[in-house]
Amino acid sequence: MATDNSSLRVERRVPRQADRDPAGFLRKRRIVETTLAIAFPVLLLLLWQVAGSREWIDRRFYPPPSDIIGEIQRTFQDNPKGNWWVHIWVSVKRMLWGYGWGVLAGLALGVGMGMSRKLRATLEPTLNALYTVPKLALIGIFLIVLGFDDKPLIAVIAVTVFFFVWMQSMHAVMTVPEQLRETAKSFESGRIQLFRHVIFPASLPEIFLGLRVSAGVAVLTLIGAEFVYAPGLEGIGYRINNARTVFDPLQAYVGLFVAAILGAIFVSIIKLIGKLVAPWASDDRTVL
């Protein structure tokens, strides 16, 4: 009996570069990604510079990057307009205290509610309602309760960070794959062992995602809160707002630059800590 091989098709998989040379492929991809990450903001700055130089935009209100860089050099070298380093240090302390307390409370309640259905049913409706309250509106209440020092600012930052960390932590614990839980239970693992060896490690990547997001939110809240209230007339937000009131756009842009650098550094630190604590959580899962 003859066999008709015309309908048979042999598929041959050609190894990709990633298969032939994984290290080289990753190295090239990092170079490309780094180049793109640098080229995009540089292109935006060049367009901004051209627009300002050719007076497509009002240079008084939107000074080009060359003017801002010159103002930054004068501000931090000659220091003609006040000691910016003092304001930066004051703001960093407020942010770190608020972020720290917010993270501790958010993690404790988020993990607890993720583990307990009854606790979730009891607290989640109330917390969801409180989440919608504008946090900057709480400064007045905190001033009355905590006094006229840094505590109201720290409290506002802590409350804001708390909600982001709480929601992300609770969701991370709740969405641990059921297969992992069942596997641990098949080995007769207790509740503490289940949490320690399965739930907590599996939820860490998403928890650190929440910590990174809340790090940026902490900087945003800090600047906004210092617009409203700045004890001692100190802080990055106060300097930006003061520059606005005295019509000094260059100093306002200096403050925005400082806030952006502070946020980028803080988020990068949290991301690095996340990679060290949870190295199994790879953020390099892109297909293209």
| Domain encompassing residue 206 | 74-277
Count of structural domains, the chain = 2
Is 151 found in the same domain as 24?
no
Q: What is the rounded distance in angstroms from the CA atom of residue 267 to the CA atom of residue 257? A: 15
Residues 108 and 193 occupy one common structural domain: yes
What is the chain's alpha carbon radius of gyration, rounded to the nearest angstrom?
Answer: 26
Contact 75, 254 (CB under 8 A): yes
Q: Are residues 200 and 260 in the same domain?
A: yes
Residue 215 inside a domain? The answer is yes
Encode burial over 56-77: b for 16+ CB neighbours within 10 A, e otherwise.
eeeeeeebbeebbeebbeebee
pLDDT at 283: 55
Q: Assign residue 176 the CATH number of its domain.
A: 1.10.3720.10
In a shared domain, residues 169 and 28? no
pLDDT on residue 288: 46
pTM of the model: 0.82
Please write the tens of the pLDDT for every residue from 18-58.
Answer: 666 677 777 888 898 889 889 998 999 899 889 888 888 88
Neighbour-count burial for 183-212, b at 16+ CB within 10 Å, e otherwise: ebeeeebeeeebbeebbbbbbbbbbbbbbb
Predicted confidence at residue 58, as pLDDT, reads 83
* pLDDT for res 287: 41
Look at residue 79 in the predicted model and tell me its pLDDT: 59
Residues 130, 177, single domain; the answer is: yes
Would you say residue 154 lies in a domain? yes
Q: Within this chain, do residues 47 and 97 fall inside the same structural domain, yes or no?
A: no
123: burial class by Cβ within 10 Å (0-12, 13-18, 19+)? Answer: middle
Same domain, 86 and 222: yes
The predicted-structure confidence for 163-206, as pLDDT tens digits, reads as follows 999 999 999 988 888 777 777 666 666 677 777 778 888 889 89
Do 43 and 136 reside in the same domain of the chain?
A: no
> In one letter, which amino acid is 45?
L
Domain presence at residue 44: yes
CA-based max dimension of the chain: 98
Query: What is the mean pLDDT, run by run of 10 residues, along the chain of 288 residues?
Result: 55 63 78 89 90 84 87 76 83 95 95 90 92 89 90 94 94 83 67 78 89 94 92 90 89 91 93 86 52
